[in-house]
Amino acid sequence: MSVVGTQLFIKPMQPSASVSPGIQRRHTLPASEVRPLNAQDAISVFEIEREAFISVSGDCPLHLDEVRHFLTLCPEWSMGWFEEGRLVAFIIGSLWDQDRLTTEALTLHKPRGSTVHIHILAVHRTFRQQGKGPILMWRYLQHLRCLPSVRRAVLMCEDFLVPFYRKSGFKVLGRCAITVANLTFTEMWYPISGHAYMRRNSEAIRFPQHPLTLPLTKTDEHVDV
């Protein structure tokens, strides 16, 4: 469930040799970076998620133990945006192997699946209305296009978020079979297959093995999560 420049990633600038050690220590963290999440990020993830969803839906898509579960089991399907070491936005995903989402998709990771289930996209409250949600989703989908095994991405969202995800290229599949308490959801999908050109040129946008700086970009989006 969920709430550009020509280069996706660029290497962080190294401090000049003439800079004093004290200044170097203050600038060891890139101003902005994107990387896969891990289990150590779980509490920061959950704090952002809880604040973003409890006031709107009354519950969290993923509880803390479920966040830890996915970030331990399949961290490579997550993406976190950090500014000066602070998590400001994130996506958590896993693989799924069926045409439509079922209740099992909320807790399972299917390593042989060709569908990426995006469980959640959330942005820290002090960084909303800055276009970070759309930017992070765009970068995540660019990453998926470089993976030959992935055929599509799916998510479930409340109806008021459908326009937000449409702007990112998602299409409506229909009503989701999953309900939570009295909440119902729309299931949406994004086609990944057929991007041979992107895969042949994936060196430019490959998901980094080490934290890299993220060029700062602003958008005119009015909806952010």
**Is 108 marked active-site?**
yes
**Is 106 marked active-site?**
no
DSSP state of 147: -
**Is 121 marked active-site?**
yes
**Is 87 marked active-site?**
no
How far apart are the C-alpha atoms of 132 and 52, rounded to whole Å? 14
Tokens of 129: 């209305």
**Is 140 marked active-site?**
no
Of the candidates 62, 71, 101, 121, the residue annotated as catalytic is 121
What is the widest separation between alpha-carbon atoms in the chain? 62
Of the candidates 94, 140, 141, 143, the residue annotated as catalytic is 94
Number of other CB atoms surrounding residue 66 within 10 Å: 18
How far apart are the C-alpha atoms of 69 and 1, rounded to whole Å? 16
H or E segment and range at residue 67: helix 64-73
Tokens of 221: 């989006």
Of the candidates 165, 168, 190, 195, the residue annotated as catalytic is 165
End-to-end Cα distance, the chain: 12
Of the candidates 64, 106, 108, 212, the residue annotated as catalytic is 108
Q: What is the 3 state secondary structure string of 78-101?
A: EEEEEECCEEEEEEEEEEECCCCC
State the catalytic residues.
Answer: 94, 108, 119, 121, 165
